[in-house]
Amino acid sequence: MRVHPILTAGVVAARNVLLGGNAVSLSLLKNPKKMVGYVTECLFLYKALGSKRGIPSRNVFEVFPCQGEVTIKLADFEGGGWFRPIASYTADLVSLCLICKLTRPTVVFEIGTLRGSSALHFALNTPDETVVYTLDFPKAREERPGLYTTITDNLHIAAYRSSEALCFEDTPIAPRIRCLFGDSAKFDFSEFHGKVDFFFIDGAHSYEYARSDTLNALKCCHKGSVIAWHDFGRVGVNGVSRWILELSKEHEICSIPGGSLAFMVVN
């Protein structure tokens, strides 16, 4: 039987404070949200630096070697997107842009639009003929997720539905980004089977959704395609790590150093 998401989040937060807290963190007691964020990131870095995440750590260049320099494009917008006080998010974004630059996909599919920042960066760092598809819940109706979601997922869904615009709207690359709407657990992916070169999974973070989204991604990809997941190794409320560790028994998956991006090449 599932425990209520709020109770689960409280238990995980208390555990992280107990395991990751230190003398310095006591200065954040007046701001519990920042304190929980600090100790959670400490535990994340402990696992990353100590090679305790369960899969190999490799940077993008190790998997996709290149000669000479690689130039990527980064964009900022109101709200910050991937540029946060916690630098691991920026490391994730840079790695996503590098994957796009080095593999040159012509069809990109993303689960989890939110503000549209990752879709924007995919379009900025791929060839002009590339089409980026991004899937998220419909904004107009209160469709409930078909699978279990975490409290963070529910907050993200609410934030997405209340936002008025996506950051790539009214930009020159907007025509290359196609917004799709629906629950990824129920969405009909058959149109994309075998056609996606790069598939990014950053939707709901429960084990159930991570698994469902990955199984759909494998159907959409072909040999040589890249699948990437966000928030691997983070110690908050998410089942992404559990699913990827399970999947790594059958597929070769690696994570970037110091970041929460995991990725694999389909073979």
* Ranges of each domain in the chain: 1-52, 56-265
Report residue 200: phi and psi, to 5°: -110, 125
CA triplet 185, 154, 260: central angle to 5 degrees?
A: 80
User: What local confidence, expressed as pLDDT, does residue 33 receive?
Assistant: 75
Considering only residues 13 and 164, tell me which one the structure prediction assigns the higher pLDDT: 164
| pLDDT, tens only, 155-197 | 878 877 777 788 999 899 999 999 999 999 999 999 999 999 9
Considering only residues 2 and 103, tell me which one the structure prediction assigns the higher pLDDT: 103
- What sign results for the dihedral spanned by CA atoms 135, 136, 140, 142? positive
Residue pair 120/173 in contact by the 8 Å Cβ criterion: yes
User: What local confidence, expressed as pLDDT, does residue 18 receive?
Assistant: 59
Among the ranges given (28-32, 89-93, 156-160, 220-224), the one the predictor scored with the smallest mean pLDDT: 28-32
Chain mean pLDDT for the chain: 87
Helix 207-220, helix 240-247: angle, nearest 10: 50
User: What local confidence, expressed as pLDDT, does residue 85 receive?
Assistant: 78
Considering only residues 167 and 50, tell me which one the structure prediction assigns the higher pLDDT: 167
User: What local confidence, expressed as pLDDT, does residue 10 receive?
Assistant: 56
CATH, domain range 56-265: 3.40.50.150
